[in-house]
Amino acid sequence: MAEDTAQSAPAQPAIVVGGGISGLVAARELAVRGFAVTVLEAAGHWGGCVYAHELDGLTLDAGAESFATKSTAVPDLLKELGLDSEIVIPRPGGSWLYTVNSEGAPEVFPSPKQGLFGIPAAPTAKDVVVIIGEAAATEAARDLEMPVDPALLEPGVSLGQVVRARMGEAVLDRLVTPVVAGVLSAHPDFLDCDAAAPGLRAALAREGSLARAAASLRAAAPAGSAVGGLVGGMQSFTRALVSDLEERGAELLLNTIVESVTQADDGSWRLETGEDSFATEHLVIATDGPTAAALLPEQFANATETVDSEIPSTGAPIALVTLVLDAPLLDQAPRGTGLLVAPGTPGVTAKALTHASAKWQWLADAAGPGTHVVRLSFGRLDDVAAEGAGSGAGSVSATSEDEALVAAAIADASTLLGGSLSAADVLASDVVRFRAGLPFARPGHRQHMASLREQLEQHEGLHVVGAWIAGTGLAAVVADTRRRVSASSQS
């Protein structure tokens, strides 16, 4: 009898603010454990930067198009969602670098095969020397014998500091910065080493050499590709999460802006959207850092009194320009799966190019011979390359800024891919903007965020998740969100 009463008791409500990947994952963790979940998302689509757009009949990723395989966090969740059979790895070909050569002239080079984060595991290898020159390679090789400065082993050091001190400016500028700036949209000098390159500082202490540290981390990574994707694109991940939540009875509300969050005397939370009010004892804030701080000003003010850091900036505005090209000259994938561009390299304004149809077999099959999909990324924290990169939000209609970005993308693609491309070759194009960009993890980020979170979560029933506090990348966000929310919902 008691069991029947317990089963018929209404589920406890839980509210998730933010419908990006962290919010959807948090909502699913709560729904699986029997909570009646409501997700409130301000935008008109789910998934944050993991969503789709359609060009020339192809459904493509508008934002994130892969996940890191260094942990099993994403594959484990994909398996639970029934997508494990759809996981794929990039086609062979590898990436290239567009940077200046030892003479100071722009040139394209295959990325060195051995290393991590652009840090060479073998500083005098031929594929390193051809990029930075003999003298710089000799300087970098001193890392193998030099004692490690204890200051580099302290928390809060930047990735740029570590690389510069161990291997010199040439390695930093021509090898590491293109990778880091292309992926994280900021110069290594501005990024916390532990956040940008997890485990690197500990490996440096253990190995006594940055080259050996990079080699050891690479060797310890799971066999196979460093990234994975899904047939049909990573937007399938978002669709699967939404579908799963719908099947579990979650209430999913788009275009719903939370205007205020207050905590009542009994500890419960009250949310106002302008049209509706919500109440819950279980609240997850899954927005960017500044939005979270604006919604919880009292809680953040109290928490940050002992944290010597501001809430991390959301980073540079980023514009992604996708081109669908009628370009048989690209059938041989002349630059592998794409290129990363060293900041300041003349002749190109983009920071990276992904040759998506050369990278993913499913897309090559969908596009067909002679048709190619390339995506160029504009905008860095320290050097916003395109004036229009920060304009608008999401996928927007053609404007003068869009047209200028598309023209720049065509010119850059020609330079980077080594072929002559023109507007006549473009079957379709789209500009997608992320005004906030990637979270900017300053030196000391991890320590500050750990302290901030510890203090915020002293408020019973409150959890704060997302890339700005967990670290960038789907693997970090998924692992952190599941760990935090599932642990709190056991009781």
- For residue 9, what pLDDT is reported? 62
Q: Among 2-6, 193-197, 476-480, which range has the highest average pLDDT?
A: 476-480
- Residue 402's region, left for phi above 0, alpha for psi from -120 to 50, else beta, is alpha
Coil vs helix vs strand at 458: coil
The pLDDT value given to residue 126: 95
Q: Is residue 390 domain-resident?
A: yes
User: What was the pLDDT predicted at 116?
Assistant: 86
**301 and 360 together in one domain:** no
Residue 414 lies in a domain: yes
Claim to verify: residue 141 and residue 158 sit in the same structural domain: yes
pLDDT, the chain, mean: 87
Positive or negative: CA dihedral 474, 477, 479, 482: negative
Domain count, the chain: 3
14-52 per-position pLDDT tens digit? 999 999 999 999 999 999 999 999 999 999 999 999 999
Decide the pairing of beta strands 251-253 and 260-263: unpaired
Nearest alpha carbon to residue 303 among 285, 320, 316: 285
Tell me, yes or no, whether 428 and 336 share the same domain. yes
Q: Among 155, 186, 220, identify where a domain stops.
A: 220
Together in a domain, 119 and 141: yes
Q: Is residue 53 domain-resident?
A: no
Average pLDDT over residues 149-160: 92
For residues 208-226, give the mean pLDDT. 84
pLDDT category of residue 309 using cuts at 50, 70 and 90: very low
Residue 74, helix vs strand vs coil: helix
Report which DSSP code applies to 425: G
Decide if 92 is inside a domain: no
Decide if pLDDT at 416 tops 50: yes
- 3-state DSSP assignment of residue 383: coil
Question: Are 17 and 125 part of one and the same domain?
Answer: no
Judgement on whether residues 360 and 419 belong to the same structural domain of the protein: yes
Mean pLDDT of 85-114: 89
In a shared domain, residues 424 and 447: no
Residue 413: alpha-carbon gap to chain centroid: 23
**Residue 381 in this model has a pLDDT that exceeds 70:** no
pLDDT tens by residue, 420-466:
999 999 999 999 988 654 445 666 667 778 888 888 888 889 999 99
Residue 344 shares a structural domain with residue 429: yes
**Does 199 share its domain with 155?**
yes
* pLDDT of amino acid 311: 52
Q: For residues 190 and 89, what is the distance between their CA atoms, to the nearest angstrom?
A: 31
Tens digit of pLDDT for each residue in 346-356? 999 999 999 99
Is residue 204 located within the same domain as residue 144? yes
Q: Decide if pLDDT at 375 tops 70.
A: yes
Give the rounded distance of the alpha carbon of 419 from its chain centre.
29
Of residues 90 and 391, more confidence is placed in 90
Where would I find the H helices in 384-472? 400-417, 445-456, 467-470
Task: Give a yes or no: residue 455 inside a domain.
Answer: yes
In the structure, what pLDDT confidence band is assigned to residue 395 with cuts at 50, 70 and 90? very low
Nearest 5°: phi and psi at 223? -65, 150
pLDDT the model gives residue 394: 42
Mean per-residue pLDDT, 104-124:
90
| Structural domain includes residue 68 | no
What is the residue-wise DSSP string for 29-62?
Answer: HHHHTT-EEEEE-SSSSSBTT--EEEETTEEEES
Q: Which pLDDT does position 398 carry in this prediction?
A: 46
What percent of the chain stands above pLDDT 90? 65
Are 479 and 453 part of one and the same domain? yes
Indicate whether 329 and 244 sit together in one domain: no
Sheet bearing 87-88, strands edge to edge: 67-68, 227-230, 87-88
Is it the case that residue 387 has pLDDT exceeding 50?
A: no
The verdict on residue 215 lying in a domain is yes
The predicted structure's pLDDT at residue 442: 66
Q: pLDDT, tens digit, for every residue of 127-144?
A: 999 999 999 999 999 999
What pLDDT does residue 386 have?
Answer: 39
| Whole-number pLDDT of residue 473 | 85
Question: Helix (H, G, I), strand (E, B), or coil: what is residue 190?
Answer: helix
- Among 170, 189, 220, residue at a domain's last position: 220
Domain containing residue 376: CATH number: 3.90.660.20
**Containing structural domain, residue 187:** 111-220
> How far is it, in rounded angstroms, from Cα 210 to Cα 193?
13
For residue 64, tell me if it sits in a domain: no
Give the pLDDT confidence score for residue 33 in this predicted structure.
94
Checking if the pLDDT of 54 tops 90, the result is: yes
Domain limit, last residue, from 408, 434, 460? 434
Copy the structure tokens of residue 20: 């990006």
Q: Residue 201 sits in a domain of what CATH number?
A: 1.10.3110.10
Q: pLDDT tens digits for 158-186? A: 999 999 999 999 999 999 998 888 777 77
